[in-house]
Amino acid sequence: MLFAGVSPFFFSCEDSTYKEYTGNSPVYLTYSELRTSVRNEQPVDLKNPGKIYYKDNYIFIVEELKGIHVYDNSNPASPVSKSFVNLPGVIDISISGYILYADSFVDLVILDVQDVDNIHEVGRVTDVLPYTIPPTGNSYPTAFVDSKKGVVTSWDVKTIKEKVVNYSNPWPIYYKGGIAFLDAANSSGASSGLSGSGVGFGGSMARFGIKDNVLYIVDQNNLKIFDITNKTAPVKTGDLYPGWNIETMFLHGDNMFFGSTTGMIVYNIATPLVPVYKAQFTHARSCDPVVVDDTLAYITLRSGTNCGGTVNCLDVVGIGDITRPVSVSTWAMTNPHGLGKDGDLLFICDGDAGLKIYDASDPYRIGTRLAYSYPAINAYDVIPIGNILVMIGSDGLYQYSYSDIGNISLLSKIEVVK
């Protein structure tokens, strides 16, 4: 089968067959370059924000595939940009104490972030994550990717001549917020540094999670489990198959909740190194981040993505009996992404419909109790913490105060600079 719009021609040279076409030629970063690339640099503009993470009055924003922005958020009305960590291939992060764990293409990288002015690498587990490639941004076909040459950081559109091999490209491809498969996306300010205890807070779109001395990393169908008793030298203890098309992971108490394209899957992690399957709640095919409180799970389903499906809604699911999740209510949405819950407030990033804040005190009436709406935002994910809502959207990072539920107010915004 030929690619639409491409006119390759074939010719014989000895016993080999070649094709020539216009396509995306991979630009490689060698493994040696990848593993010497971590640098703590001066702050740079936010351009392509992804996952967000919060710990000890610091906000970490992933610049997808490029690095990590670090902000001192001691005053949420005026966050201070402290540094930018150059880290190729980063999509997800998680922090325990002052040790940050991040993906860097095929590697798991460990950073010391105690001094945000001197963030540095203190460990690395090589070749432990799936080989991935970035999106091309166009409809041209991609040339053969030779993983021996290094990781692919970008593409050059050019005339490509290559030997015909009867196989399909096996590599997964990054998309906004995670991994999908090809066949399926000097600033001064107060700074006391990060503490050596506790775990930070990620958003609902996270694929990294930490419980006690265990780090979890989930991709499409595999959960990798690491013992981080020695925080700078993680030991991979095993892999778990939790299901297919896993997108997100949310930890709550002794339970782990996976959002997949077909449902919510629950594992017990009372013994963190040995997750035990508990239940599954099945829904229509769709993307579905999930957050939970003690008795309810909140799942947003959205269409128009690599996940397939046409459903856009909020599902409220009872988990009082964790082994038997039951549907409580369902509410229509526009194109919901990340969400967060604090007390009786439910925060939903409804894509181009913006940020929506609901009174969730009655799970049977949530959809009728819209408290606030900010429609002029393309909202992606949120972290509610200490009466401050941290929200990332396509045009920047927003912070709102919700200490007075009757007067939720915007405190600050960090603009994306295109």
The contacts of residue 357 (CB under 8 Å, 6+ apart) are: 345, 346, 347, 348, 370, 371, 372, 373, 402, 408
- Integer Cα distance of 334 and 280 in angstroms: 25
The pair of three-digit structure tokens given for residue 378, joined into one six-digit string? 């393309």
Whole-model pTM: value is: 0.90
- Per-residue pLDDT of the chain (418 residues), as tens digits, is 333 334 443 434 444 578 889 999 999 999 999 999 999 999 999 999 999 999 999 999 999 999 999 999 999 999 999 999 999 999 999 999 999 999 999 999 999 999 999 999 999 999 999 998 888 989 999 999 999 999 999 999 999 988 765 544 555 655 455 544 333 333 233 334 676 678 889 999 999 999 999 999 998 889 999 999 999 999 999 999 998 889 899 999 999 999 988 889 999 999 999 999 999 998 767 677 999 999 999 999 988 756 667 889 999 999 999 999 999 999 999 999 999 999 999 999 999 999 999 999 999 999 999 999 999 899 999 999 999 999 999 999 999 999 998 899 999 999 999 8
For the CA atoms of 321, 382, 287, 219, the dihedral, rounded to the nearest 10 degrees, stands at: -90
**Can you spell out the DSSP letters for 47-105?**
-SEEEEEEETTEEEEEETTTEEEEEE-SSTTS-EEEEEEE-TT---EEEETTEEEEEET
Neighbours of 121 (CB within 10 A): 21
The pair of three-digit structure tokens given for residue 302, joined into one six-digit string? 């959205």
**Sheet strands side by side (includes 107-112):** 93-96, 99-104, 107-112, 120-125
DSSP code of residue 33: H
DSSP code of residue 148: G
Q: Which residues pair with 49 in a beta bridge?
A: 63
> Per DSSP, which regions of 145-207 are E strands?
151-163, 172-175, 178-181, 201-202
- Integer Cα distance of 94 and 111 in angstroms: 10
- Integer Cα distance of 20 and 164 in angstroms: 10
- Integer Cα distance of 101 and 123 in angstroms: 9
Domains of the chain, first to last = 9-32+135-169 (no CATH), 38-132+171-241 (2.40.128.630)
Contact 83, 40 (CB under 8 A): yes
Count Cβ neighbours within 10 Å for each residue of 239-255 and write b for 16 or more, e otherwise. ebebbebbbbbbbbeeb
Phi and psi at residue 101, to the nearest 5°: -110, 135
